[in-house]
Amino acid sequence: MPKWKAALLLVAVTLLAYFLSSQPACPAGVEEEAASVASLLQQGGKLVTNAPECFSSIPGERLVILPAKLQNLVKTAIGNNASLLFVLPSGFSASSPRISKLRDFPSGSMLYKIDARRPFMVRLDDLWASPGAESEGYVFEKLNRTMQVIEQAGVKGFVGVTPHIRSCGGHCELSLSTDATMIEVIKALSGMGFAVALHGHNHSCTANTCEFDGLSPNAAASILSMDKDYLERLLGAEVVWFFPPKNAWDQNISQAMAIAGLREPEGIFYDPMDWNANPPAWRGYSLFDEKYDGITIHYNVMDDAKIAETARFIETVSKERLFESPIDAFQR
């Protein structure tokens, strides 16, 4: 054989060997899991994997080769607003709550899921002792109908509870402990996955001032700490969240919240009520856009039309956005 042919053959054999050795071998046991992965993909999303040859039964348009850095993968998933599955070798650790391990493969590899749909929350405000507040719409019939919409949709979020409430035209104060029915309602919402949030002390606000105005951080923290302990004893549920009446945040109340061991939900909630109008007016959900993390519901303003509109809105949003529990959504 001429030397040039022998050299050419040697190069060809070397290149073939290099090509074969560079192809990742399908780990033992992974291919057997392809059927279950394909079943999961029927719910939507794509499979991002470092071993596409193991999933030949999955259509090519559903496969994405794993980028070099997981961070890029997460950014891609979030940017595309998609849910992704991906397979990584053993030893990989995913710390983001958006990334969850679905199962281990016999080979030691693991199947993960990124749910990159932006979470969306419901915030149900102003649950307090109802006697004396019926004239403002705080009646259980409206609350029960609102809860039915939330429960049927399977959504979760926050329930803003005020431990005491001004009544008798502002001349007296009712405590939540006097309303056994409301206590059971709040416990039921907690059982549904809602997080109880402290929503002020007695919701005493006027057009220009609110209950914590003028208080030092330590003075406000003392009130918040007592109210937090009061609700935890009364409801038998941990209270870690806080939002003030009228969302009247300032530096003092933020410091007081931290001193009292409370946290602020770091989200922007759209309120379908225009409270600046006189009288307050229903503006609906037409102004909703992607900057919002959830909606605030005040059950006292609900009537048949508003309840129906709220139900349609939640159903529409749930197809595009992910409803999560408060802990999952705000501890990402």
Whether the predicted pLDDT of 154 surpasses 70: yes
Q: How far apart are CA 222 and CA 218, in angstroms?
A: 6
The token pair at 184 is 């059971």
Cα Rg for the chain, rounded, in angstroms? 27
Looking at residue 292, its pLDDT comes to 82
Lowest mean pLDDT among 2-16, 36-50, 168-182, 256-270: 2-16
For the chain, give the mean pLDDT: 76
CA angle 190, 234, 326 (to 5 degrees): 25
Identify the band that residue 213 occupies on the pLDDT scale cut at 50, 70 and 90: confident
Q: How far apart are CA 307 and CA 299, in angstroms?
A: 9
- The average pLDDT across 146-168 equals 87
- The average pLDDT across 279-307 equals 87
Per DSSP, 260 falls in state T
Whether the predicted pLDDT of 31 surpasses 90: no
Q: Which residues pair with 175 in a beta bridge?
A: 164
Give pLDDT tens digits for 54-104: 677 777 776 666 544 454 555 555 445 455 565 555 555 555 555 667 766
Identify the band that residue 16 occupies on the pLDDT scale cut at 50, 70 and 90: very low
Whether the predicted pLDDT of 231 surpasses 60: yes
Which of 78-82, 127-131, 134-138, 286-290 holds the top average pLDDT? 127-131
Tell me which residue has tokens 């416990």.
187
- The average pLDDT across 143-164 equals 91
Q: How far apart are CA 266 and CA 285, in angstroms?
A: 21
- 3-state SS assignment for residue 198: strand
290 vs 232 pLDDT, higher one: 232
The token pair at 316 is 């529409």
DSSP 87-110: EE-TT-----TTEEEEEE-TTS-E
Identify the band that residue 23 occupies on the pLDDT scale cut at 50, 70 and 90: very low
Lowest mean pLDDT among 122-136, 166-180, 222-236: 166-180
Looking at residue 80, its pLDDT comes to 52
Q: What residues does CATH 3.20.20.370 cover in the chain?
A: 119-330
Whether the predicted pLDDT of 122 surpasses 80: yes
66 vs 230 pLDDT, higher one: 230
Can you list the alpha helix ranges (DSSP code H) found in the chain? 3-22, 34-41, 70-80, 140-153, 180-191, 217-235, 251-259, 304-318, 326-330
Looking at residue 180, its pLDDT comes to 93
Identify the band that residue 20 occupies on the pLDDT scale cut at 50, 70 and 90: very low
Q: How far apart are CA 124 and CA 298, in angstroms?
A: 6
CA angle 252, 253, 255 (to 5 degrees): 65
Q: How far apart are CA 95 and CA 220, in angstroms?
A: 36
Neighbouring C-alpha atoms within 13 Å toward the C-beta of 287: 10
Q: How far apart are CA 40 and CA 33, in angstroms?
A: 11
Whether the predicted pLDDT of 135 surpasses 80: no
| Whether domain 119-330 has CATH 3.40.50.1970 | no
